[in-house]
A and B are shown apart, each in its own frame.
Chain A
Amino acid sequence: MTQVILGGLDGNRTWRLADYVARGGYEALRKALSGMTPEQVIEEVKKSSLRGRGGAGFPTGLKWTFMPRNYSGDKYVVCNSDEGEPGTFKDRDILRYNPHALIEGMILAGYAMGATRGYNYIHGEIWSVYERCEEAVQEARDAGFLGQNILGSEFSFDLFNHHGYGAYICGEETALLESLEGKKGQPRYKPPFPATYGLYGKPTTINNTETFASVPWIIRHGGQAFLELGKPNNGGTKIFSVSGHVSRPGNYEVPLGTPFAKLLEMAGGVRGGRKIKAVIPGGSSMPVLPGDVMMQLDMDYDSISKAGSMLGSGAVIVMDETTCMVRALERLSWFYHEESCGQCTPCREGTGWLYRVIHRMEHGQGRAEDLDLLLSLSDNIQGRTICALGDAAAMPVRSFVNHFRAEFEHHVTHKRCLVEGSARQEKVA
């Protein structure tokens, strides 16, 4: 089975430039600079059907065409390595075990879009990864892959790593730009989109780490080959961060369209032989799906979307039959309450109330009207805010209540949990 990014790696031992080159690294760059126009590079990416791996799944090639071609000033490419969504840990491993794939991908993107400068914004809580990226960038610079006239061509490009301080909101692309500019990380309203008004007000394209890291393979092997790894409109492989109640949690790079059942099997199945209850298929902000529904699905953008959730960042959180869904939601809501930037009123005030209402349900103080209140509050947040954090906070609530309403009602009426073996099974109030 072909692995575009994680293939051929051997843990900590093979991240250096020499190892990457031995795996065929920087051949794509050589190929592009010696024989492809920027337009041809974009064309290959379009052909590959590569979709944004950060969560939204927007077609990458199309996004790259949004950058103005004949712009006289600076243009930027920015990598969003501010991976903060609970359950997601793939970018960390890409940066740690295969940093040159990202570097080469960003250089190719710079070439394709005429950008001369790239920034890799790394989550603030993975310091050792930041340090490794610094080393890798220096290796690339020393080898002439970064800097003036790369590989003797007309093209010059340099790349800089930047680490955040752990705020989830800085993973939102415009908040990331604000933070990169040295300001408080708060999303900008759109339009204008970054392609016209991005970093320092200049045309900017922001892609996820995994997206950039897929590009070298696409250029080397062709867009069509990448597309064929997956299925139509869902080209290539995808790294899934499988976590929760599985025996072997970890990152699994599989072709898009791989059945969930197979992925679960790769992760060792549900821990302790228990039954699967629910799965969040794309990171904590995506709607939860019941386990039996998931077992019938394929892991690709379109299949998951059809079932009412989203593939998101590919963080698969598996919950077994002992999970109290009220308690799980309480934990998730706390996260969004804690991470709201505070700009938009519905999110700033609303995420607090989501958490407080769920908290009192979980603690046996829920009121009959609370479920309606939760849903109405979610309605008031979702789609009402500048960025998607509001949606991220509201979507889990709606899906949890939707699929597991009985559990919530039980908490309210009986002041205790319905689930055998869960922490709140004893009556608390």
Chain B
Amino acid sequence: MDMPFLSPHDTDLGTPEKISDQQVSLHIDGHPVTVPRGTSLMRAAALTGLSIPKLCATDTLEPFGSCRLCLVEIEGRKGFPASCTTPAEEGMVVRTQSTQLAQLRRGVMELYISDHPLDCLTCASNGDCELQDMAGAVGLREVRYPSIEHHHLTAQKDDSNPYFVYDPSKCIVCNRCVRACEEIQGTFALTLSGRGFSSRVSPGESQPFMASECVSCGACVDACPTATLVEKSILEAGQPEYSVVTTCAYCGVGCGFKADMKGTEVVRMTPWKGGKANEGHACVKGRFAWGYATHKDRILTPMIRKHITDPWQVVSWEEAIQYAASEFRRIQGTYGRDAVGGITSSRCTNEETYLAQKMVRAAFGNNNVDTCARVCHSPTGYGLGMTYGTSAGTQTFKSVEHSDVILIIGANPTDAHPVFGSRLKKRLREGARLIIIDPRRIDLVQGPHFKADYLLQLRPGTNVAIINAIAHVIVTEGLVASDFVNTRCDMESFQAWKAFVVQPHNSPEAMEPVTGVPATQVREAARLYATGGNAAIYYGLGVTEHAQGSTMVIGIANLAMVTGNIGKEGVGVNPLRGQNNVQGSCDMGSFPHEYPGYRHVSDDATRHSFESAWGLPLRKEPGLRIPNMFEAALDGSFRGLYCQGEDIVQSDPNTQHVIAALSSLECLVVQDIFLNETAKYAHVFLPGSSFLEKDGTFTNAERRISRVRKVMPPKGGMSDWEVTVALSNALGYPMHYSHPSEIMDEIARLTPTFSGVSYDLLDRLGSVQWPCDDQNPEGTPLMHVGSFVRGLGQFMITQYVPTDEKVTPKFPLLLTTGRILSQYNVGAQTRRTANMAFHSEDRLDIHPHDAEDRGILDGDWVGVSSRSGNTVLRAHVSERMSPGVVYTTFHFPESGSNVITTDNSDWATNCPEYKVTAVQVTRVRQMSDWQKYHQQFDEMQQHLLRPGPEQMTPS
């Protein structure tokens, strides 16, 4: 059932696909071929199985026509046109081989080789070098040019980047890297400096790669036909033997990758051209930061202990599972059935998440299951569910290619969703208009060949005020898409909403003092969104992680409806989901009130279907959410927790509160690949498996279900799903699965929106977007076409309510948090890779005025204190911030960003208000008390781990 091994070498058709409703027919070397109008001769030839020699052409980049190897002869035309830049025309007769062409191509190859080192046997690209291939293809037999002093063979290598080396001596000036950086990544970090024979690729202003604007996406390395740009891993390990297609385990873009393998060792990850989310592109994390999977910090053996102050005891899987099961049963016996619960992981597969919630509901016998989506996109689920009827984004990523206006709210795609960020930038370069609502000047505000039309730099916590003001302008200025609203939406709800938004207190002028955004800007931006053509909204955690997170999601949904921007290409409401499988973990019934497919546990019909499938009665009352679990732990009614692949100590707000709750548990079972911060409070540690060690599926932000494939055996001996099965069996609720595909089959049987999904289908299509059922056997790329999932779109009133978290003279600044490109969330993975070279600590971004007021210089240590706690970070003075707002990331446990964040949360879903914390910032000389505590505790826990995991052998 699994995909067979692939060759590490992709088929390259030379030039990108052209879409046209007209076809042209021609003859190439006597073969008839019919292709869409606009298709290059090179691609047409490749499609018939002929391969025209080429070096500067590749099907991921627009043709360039410079290598002159692909020249052909066309009957009736003089000269030798380049087949990559010449479109096929009706009736053409093309020759790709002739004596003259052979002579010509040999001449070109001879010139290439006259300035190329001939160290092929010891070259990193030996076996994967297009120059080598072409020399063979054209039959080069001699080089008549003697070696000279003026060549490039002695040029210095640049190995400043942690992941790849640039060797100018091997450069053939094909420009592919430069074009990849421009066309695919959109960073424009590379150029060809010099002219003529002196031309060489140069990052930035002839700087080393690390000093340039390069973001290490690796597109240049992928594009390079020689060993000029080559992965250090390939230099070290040699060429891969085979490849396996899988899905990235970082952000919610869900890029398709080929794991390039040698035996069971990954030697390279290359973005898969067939991956529909990424279409052959990747970022620094997915492409390069996979070394954590084999890091020495991996814990590979199960461990148990009675108290968290006891040394860890290495035990067998069986003993660990039995111990955990007996503890859970003991706790339930003593404190009641509801005294235990579980947390599923957005890092794990759909199948694993499904099993974890199944175990809680069936084996624990309660609904105390929740997931980390609680702290990120739970308001998205609520808001889009209420208004549209589906808890997910409406489009595919590719849809942005049809957008005329793009509205980005509280998201930073170039850092957090880089591959989508590149798609977006491409559309912006083509001329789409851009509105950004964000307290920070994110990179998308201005970049190479694009600039935001409007940056509404609002005060944190005033999202709803802005969205109401925009709606006010649209309604009062007569910009409502009446046809859409009349036919597609619930009119009663629209009238009520309309009456609300037209109230003067919602006008941009009235809201200006609240948001800090000039009313004229809001008005202009609103007009642009409503009248600029296809308008798409992309949003991130800057929308959801607020006291009014759900309100804001509803506000966004209202806005798209009132302007008719739903149900077609180029429009929609698109949450940019943070983690690889956060969409999937929500889909799989990880919330305490919902079964897979977002169906309430109190719904009898749904519950009965699960009861009959699982063979036991199930509870109809929703269970505890994560914050409720903490409360219950502190009041003594919740005593045992199974936590799979989530580091709640580092990622949840108000760390002190989380620690207090976990410290009060009698049994905390942590299943993870590392001894994370949460595991330091655990009694049972079960080794987890990385995405390379198991089969399954991830679902990305566009509802796309993609296969994750096992390329190496689980390093700890068991895949995560097998661990859950074992634990459930030990709890007395037997599960029988021999492969994750069987779990997916069960999901499909029990979940209408997944009813058509199977591993066979995924192998056939590559991926599929749910709903996938009888009506949509190949999935649903575009949602709400013709009608909403809930029938009529529901408008809802979104009254702006200021957050309780207010600035005061004591806490005069607002802190907002987020993530950056090279690190990922709690950093457990990326901190254990060479990405540390890009970002080695969390810093506090502060505006120059706020810094100057406090005597803070760039690089100073500063204390950051809030009503919850305080910590110390290094200051980074930056004009990206607006005055009064500071920003930090939460990638490093020792920085304690969440020591400062508060218990405030979304009214509907308890999603924490990470984005608004009132703080004061002062220069300091030493660590905070919490950091001292953390350091001591960490040292103690490392000590309790000895003998260190590196000396242990898997059981």
Contacts and interface: CB of A to CB of B under 8 A. Distances in A.
Pick from A189, A337, A340, A345 the residue with the most CB of B within 10 Å: A345
Nearest to A367: B146
Interface residues of B, number: 35
A409 B68 CA distance: 32
A316 interface: no
Contact of B112 (A347, A349, A384): A349
A342 B195 CA distance: 6
Contacts of A351: 196-197
Contacts of A337: 196-197
A342 B198 contact: yes
Nearest to B107: A380
Nearest to A349: B111
Contacts of B175: 343
A352 B197 contact: yes
Interface string A362-390: 00000001000100110110011110000
A346 interface: yes
Contact of A385 (B55, B68, B69, B196): B68
Given A167-B195, A379-B107, A384-B104, A346 B144 contact: no
Interface in B168-198: 172-173, 175, 191-192, 194-198
Contact of A380 (B63, B111, B192, B196): B111
Contacts of A350: 111
A169 B194 CA distance: 13
Nearest to B110: A380
Contacts of B587: none
Given A345-B112, A350-B111, A386 B195 contact: no
Nearest to B109: A345
B108 A348 contact: no
Interface string B91-107: 00000000000001001
B199 A353 contact: no
Contact of B196 (A189, A346, A348, A376): A348
A9 interface: no
A344 B69 CA distance: 10
B404 interface: no
A30 interface: no
Interface in B59-115: 63-69, 71, 79-80, 82, 85, 104, 107-108, 111-112, 114-115
Contacts of B66: 343-345, 386
A427 interface: no
A31 interface: no
A189 B65 contact: yes
A341 interface: yes
A159 B55 CA distance: 41
Contacts of B82: 189, 386
A342 B144 contact: no
A189 B107 contact: no
A189 B62 CA distance: 12
A270 B6 CA distance: 73
A338 interface: yes
A50 to B, nearest CB: 25
A348 B65 CA distance: 14
For the complex, would chain A's binding face be called helix, strand, loop or mixed by DSSP majority? helix
A345 B67 contact: yes
Contact of A348 (B55, B64, B199): B199
Interface string B132-151: 00000000000011001010
B864 to A, nearest CB: 43
Contacts of A341: 195-196, 199
Nearest to B200: A342
A414 interface: no
Contacts of B112: 345, 349
B150 A184 contact: no
Contacts of B80: 383-384
A352 B194 CA distance: 14
B68 A342 contact: no
A384 B69 CA distance: 9
A382 B114 CA distance: 19
B195 A352 contact: no
Contact of B192 (A184, A376, A377): A184
Contact of B68 (A167, A169, A344): A344
A383 B197 contact: no
A47 interface: no
Interface in B5-58: 55
B24 to A, nearest CB: 15
A384 B73 CA distance: 12
Contacts of B64: 189
A228 interface: no
Interface in A68-115: none
B191 A338 contact: no
B142 to A, nearest CB: 12
A342 B85 contact: no
A184 B173 CA distance: 15
A340 B115 CA distance: 16
B561 to A, nearest CB: 34
A271 interface: no
B169 to A, nearest CB: 14
A263 B910 CA distance: 92
B147 to A, nearest CB: 11
A340 B197 contact: yes
B104 A380 contact: yes
Given A353-B145, A380-B107, A345 B68 contact: yes
Pick from B65, B112, B114, B191 the residue with the most CB of A within 10 Å: B65
Pick from A167, A351, A353, A377 the residue with the most CB of B within 10 Å: A353
Contacts of A338: 195-196
Nearest to A355: B197
Contacts of B85: 189
Contacts of A321: none
Nearest to B144: A373
A331 B64 CA distance: 31
B197 A342 contact: yes
Interface string A174-202: 00000000001000010000000000000
B83 to A, nearest CB: 12
A339 interface: yes
A340 B107 contact: no
A63 interface: no
A64 B172 CA distance: 39
Contacts of B107: 346, 376-377, 379-380
Interface in A118-170: 167, 169
A356 interface: yes
A275 B663 CA distance: 106
Nearest to B178: A184
Contacts of A376: 107
Given A184-B192, A373-B144, A384 B197 contact: no
A349 B199 CA distance: 10
The 5 residue pairs across chains A and B that have the minimum distance between CB atoms = A342-B199, A380-B107, A340-B196, A349-B111, A189-B65
Interface of B: 55, 63-69, 71, 79-80, 82, 85, 104, 107-108, 111-112, 114-115, 144-145, 148, 150, 172-173, 175, 191-192, 194-199
Interface of A: 167, 169, 184, 189, 337-353, 356, 369, 373, 376-377, 379-380, 383-386
